[in-house]
Amino acid sequence: MKFTLNRLRIGDTLTAQVVERVRANEYIVSFRGDLIRVRSENPKPLAVHERVLVRVVALNPLAFQFVSGSGRIATRMDVSI
């Protein structure tokens, strides 16, 4: 992996870019070039090419929370690989 996910710590913030919408709340997102499949609990759908700021809230399993902005409520984004 270009971006080593096992270096992340709880509380870290990073930007993800939506690459593809797989299903209603499942997406492929890019973290600095690494593609990860995630499930978003946010009721507002993400758009392809949208960039979102997320905070690491859990490591095992890996989970993120949206950082407020662009009208999104603070919900989780779980890695579903």
Give the domain extent around 13. 5-79
pLDDT tens sequence across 13-57: 889 999 999 998 899 999 888 888 999 888 888 999 999 999 998
- Whose tokens are 């996910």? That residue is 5
Question: Where in 10-75 does DSSP place strands (E)?
Answer: 13-23, 26-31, 34-40, 51-59, 62-66
CATH code for the domain in which residue 44 is found: 2.40.50
CA-closest candidate to residue 40, choices 61, 60, 66: 66
Distance CA 18, CA 11 (A): 21
Q: pTM higher than 0.85, yes or no? A: no
Q: Does residue 79 carry a pLDDT above 70? A: yes
If one compares 59 and 69, the residue with the highest pLDDT of the two is 59
Total tally of structural domains belonging to the chain: 1
